[in-house]
Structure 1
Amino acid sequence: MAVFFMLVALIVSVNGQTFHLGSCPTPPVQQNFDVGKYLGRWYEIAKLPAVFEKGKCHQATYSLLKKGVVKVVNAELLHDGKVNSIEGQATVTNLAQPAKLDVTLFKGIADAPYWVISTDYTSYSVVYSCKDVFGLLYVDFAWILARSRSLPANTVSQLRGDLESHGVSLSGMTSSDQVGCNAMPEGQGQ
């Protein structure tokens, strides 16, 4: 059985995703989160590797479907110049904690957590997602998002520090490429 876990971890690590020993960290989320203020377009500034992201110019657009349910459209510019997008939805599962949502993007794959750790709604957002695997390992994702295609380096550094202070390992975090994104239609993802 241990060989199986090591093989899975190796395969996923090679593809850019990393497993960690133990259980998911549980950072606190944004207090008094207001999904209405969060709606709109966000650009990816930095991320932990995500095997499902293949291009650059990543952006997400959120719009309200109904109370507690948000339409999610993620878009990226592939290396061949084509825009790739996927649509799903995020659902608030506990109205007492509206900053903890579950996102469904891929049919047949279980919902993924989407926790808004912190946001000022107008310039930055920090999002964390983590899933325990068999109670022994976990795989996580983290994103620093912005309302524009860039954030000041000191802001990014502070947001990284906030995540790390809550036990999230960011050793694999990389800056996202938001250069040469003119092919991304401004209406993409709306």
Structure 2
Amino acid sequence: MLRYLVANIPVMQNFNKSRYAGQWYAVGKKDPDGLFLLDNIVANFNVDEDGITTATARGRVYIFKYWEVCADMRATFEDTSDPAKFKMKYWGVSALLQTGYDDHWVIDTDYDNYAVHYSCRKVHEVNGTCADSYSFIFSRHESGLRLEDQQIVSAKKHDICLAGKYRRVTHTPGQCENLTPIDSIPVPGPEDEAHQNI
């Protein structure tokens, strides 16, 4: 039972956020509850000269259940006592997108090829397990993980108790450019919302 406690989840030792910076392609994801990016997910992490970490991300998502768009997100990171554990404040470039304040834990990475990310949004007060989590498998390569990295990543999925819960993330060149710009989507009024619930 102890290995399922959020507090016992192992993270990357001697994590170096400067080496982690740069572009990552999401090639696998475990979804949380609610709205979440679907595919074509690309994240860019930046560490400035003062050591402050920020990030941008883009991915395809459905807004109001039927508007297909590519969403642009922004985030700032707060350091904690563990170099591999951050608090992440995020928001959408459009007001239609979510805002939040989540954990961003780096479970493992070799910096040059793969990274395993984990976030628990809600911990059970009674037993310390996670009630709502999400996770990304990142690759530096749009084509996906190298064969030699797949076994390592699979083991890490077991370590965070999420084996078998991931979905593959595909990347289609040019797809975002062909979708409706998010700023042109009308905000539904009460009548529209009632219609959606019928």
TM-score by length of 2: 0.69
Q: 2:78 aligns with which of 87, 91, 99?
A: 91
Task: Give the Cα separation in 1 of the matches to 2:156 and 2:56.
Answer: 27
In structure 2, relative to structure 1, the CA distance for the partners of 1:81 and 1:110 (3 Å cut) is closer
Letter in 1 for 2:17: V
Q: Which residue of 2 aligns with 1:124?
A: 114
Task: Give the Cα separation in 2 of the matches to 1:167 and 1:37.
Answer: 23
Unpaired runs of 5+ residues, structure 2, are: 93-97, 178-198
Secondary structure of residue in 1 paired with 2:122: strand
Offset, 1:23: 4.7
Q: Which residue of 2 aligns with 1:76?
A: 59
Q: Confirm or deny: 8 A CA contact 1:124 1:145 kept in the other structure.
A: yes
In structure 2, relative to structure 1, the CA distance for the partners of 1:62 and 1:46 (3 Å cut) is same
Q: Which residue of 2 aligns with 1:16?
A: none
In structure 2, relative to structure 1, the CA distance for the partners of 1:53 and 1:181 (3 Å cut) is farther
Give the length in aligned residue pairs: 160
Secondary structure of residue in 2 paired with 1:111: strand
Greater Rg over alpha carbons, structure: 2
Task: Give the Cα separation in 2 of the matches to 1:157 and 1:53.
Answer: 27
1:140 aligns with 2:133: yes
Letter in 2 for 1:162: K
Task: Report the aligned-residue RMSD.
Answer: 2.7
Structure 1 stretches of at least 4 aligned residues deviating more than 4 Å after TM superposition: 78-82, 107-110
Alignment of 1:37-116 (within 5 A): 37-50=19-32, 51-65=34-48, 67-78=50-61, 82-94=69-81, 97-106=82-91, 111-116=101-106
1:30 aligns with 2:12: yes
Q: Which residue of 1 aligns with 2:192?
A: none
Task: Give the Cα separation in 1 of the matches to 2:156 and 2:38.
Answer: 27
Offset, 1:43: 0.5
Task: Give the Cα separation in 1 of the matches to 2:38 and 2:131.
Answer: 25
Offset, 1:183: 4.3
Q: Confirm or deny: 8 A CA contact 2:107 2:156 kept in the other structure.
A: no
TM-score by length of 1: 0.71
Unpaired runs of 5+ residues, structure 1, are: 1-21, 186-190
In structure 2, relative to structure 1, the CA distance for the partners of 1:82 and 1:169 (3 Å cut) is closer
- What per-residue deviation string (whole Å, max 9, x for no partner) do you get for residues 21-53 of structure 1? x85363211111111111111000111114432
- What per-residue deviation string (whole Å, max 9, x for no partner) do you get for residues 76-107 of structure 1? 1357774321111112122xx21111111149
Offset, 1:111: 2.1
Secondary structure of residue in 1 paired with 2:164: coil
Answer 1 or 2: higher relative contact order, Cα 8 Å, separation at least 6: 1
